[in-house]
Amino acid sequence: MGIETEYGVLQQGNPLANPMLMSSQVVTAYRAISSSARGRARWDYDDEDPLLDARGFHVPRASAHPSMLTDDPSHPAPAGPVAGPPSGTAEELQSITRPTTEAYDDPSAANAILTNGARLYVDHAHPEYSSPEVTNPLDGVRWDVAGERVMLVASREVAAHMGLDIQLYKNNIDGKGASYGTHENFLVDRAVPFTTIIELLTPFLVTRTVFTGSGRVGLGATGKDAGFQMAQRADYMEAEVGLETTLRRPIINTRDEPHADRLRWRRLHLIIGDANLFETATYLKLGTTSAVLWVLEHLDALPGARGALAALRLKDPVSDVARVSRDLDLTALLDLADGRQMTALDVQRGYLDVIRRVFDVTGWDDASRDVTDRWDSVLTRLSTDRASCARDVEWVAKLRLLEGLRSRDSLAWDHPRLRAMDLQWCDVRPERSVYHRLVAAGAVERLVTDAEIAVAVAHPPTDTRAFFRGEAMARFPGEISAASWDSVIFDIPGAPSLQRVPMMDPWRGTQEHVGALFAEHDDAGEFLTALMG
């Protein structure tokens, strides 16, 4: 699993600043001080195909919106409106003709492959941090928060060396009608029919907002209507399923780009979620979703689970996204497909009950127990004492502060000061961020320490292929020509061609698998020989 986050970008005193240029400056500034500065590694786009749909068809390139074309580095995909299938399963070394000139080094294609296994680049006119692959939600939190630290350092480097006051925000809206994404990615067994995922996961995604929403001042796509709602992305969801991510945004995205062996796995790409600063929200977002997907992978061995989940299907899930987001009292009744009605909390409780019954049969592990216990606790407290959730539910904490300001100064929901606080909440600068003030006051539950985050900024997870990618960038930056989620391309001096190492199995390339080889070989050529020998 992993999270990719596009950050909001502004330049102080220059409302007309070019967002693509600002985003490029952020990425190149961080690249200049990272290990990437010692090399010129580009992103390897060979296995990317953003127009392949999980429903079994391929969207013609000529008919695709330009924002969908994320596989062409010479023409970076623009923001949305206000190339062949993956190479297969081969693990052998692949020879590639060495180009006469290094491709894609212009600022508009700014890209940095980080030593922690993450990718920092410009996507849809925003600087994006894509976390490395992790195996559990707690590590998901660590490397997601590491992205916040990366953005903070990058913005300060821009200020120090370019004299530009570029401000970055971990949010999903610009207040003018545009939304940018925080996307979750989950590795799912290809044997699970995609129709099953659509049918049985959709109600969960619609209703999990009650504990994953980051809160938003304003209603409607432009936010011009006064009010507060739980989620930032809710007013931008327009379809139940679809391939797009910047227009006609769907609850379930159908992009079939597994970045792995497509015969074994699919990558479920979810775009409905908010950017979260609360670590507990990110933890539950990843942990609960992963638990539901695990059940979907084992339905045939779990009597009764399919029927119990099917009974939670919603009659109109697209409309319910906004309905749930605006239901601050958590009492609105949603129409189910079978004619019954349930609240969002009831639907979530239904999923939790199924998960618990399944684990009672299959056995518990500590991580699953912690996720379900926290899930149970937050649902109970939201239904009986919402204020008690201010330490671990982000929208509740934000609403509490805003209501305090409104009460103290008699402000209506459309007052500019409330919108300003909403923006200041997610400023990556600790000295300006409302969220970081709460952290400093001990008013927010933390799951990871600053020391653990510092390690995650520089180093990759040890139990996925991200370890190989990150360590290769750290140890051999001058010999890495390109990399991607499922490949690393070496350029060994004196070799007749580039050497591409496929990584189609996300569980290989771990510290256990290749850690000793990295420790034993300081020379990239010797390392590659030992790896393939």
Longest Cα separation, the chain: 73
Residue 382: partners with Cβ closer than 8 Å, 6 or more residues away: 210, 211, 330, 345, 389, 393, 396
DSSP state of 184: E
Residue 508 CB contacts under 8 Å (≥ 6 apart), including other chains: 91, 465, 468
Place of tokens 């961080």: 30
Rounded Cα gap, residues 203 and 212, in angstroms: 14
CA distance 175 to 164: 22
Phi, psi (degrees; rounded to nearest 5) at 304: 90, -20
List strands edge to edge, sheet with 487-490.
42-43, 480-484, 487-490, 498-502, 94-96
Give backbone dihedrals phi and psi of 322, rounded to 5 degrees, phi first: -70, -35
The two tokens of residue 268 are 């479920």
Burial 347-357 (b: 16+ CB within 10 A, else e): bbbbbbebbbe
Indicate if 174 belongs to the active site. Answer: no
Query: Which tokens is 130 given?
Result: 């894509």
Establish how many alpha carbons lie within 13 A of residue 121's alpha carbon, considering only the half-sphere containing its beta carbon.
25
Q: Which run of H or of E encompasses 173?
A: none
**Letter for the amino acid at 56?**
G
User: Among the options 44, 47, 123, 139, which is catalytic?
Assistant: 123
SS3 track for 64-80:
CCHHHCCCCCCCCCCCC
User: How far is the C-alpha of 234 from the C-alpha of 16, rounded, in Å?
Assistant: 27
Counted residue by residue, the chain has a size of 533
Terminal C-alpha separation, the chain: 30
Q: Mind giving me the DSSP string for 61-126?
A: GGGS-GGG-TT-TTSPPPPPP-------S--S-EEEPPPSS-S--SGGG-EEE-TTS-EEEEETTE
CB-based contact 162:138 (threshold 8 Å)? no
Phi and psi, residue 380, nearest 5°? -65, -45
- One-letter amino acid at 13 equals G
Q: Are 351 and 292 in contact (CB under 8 A)?
A: yes
Active site residues: 123
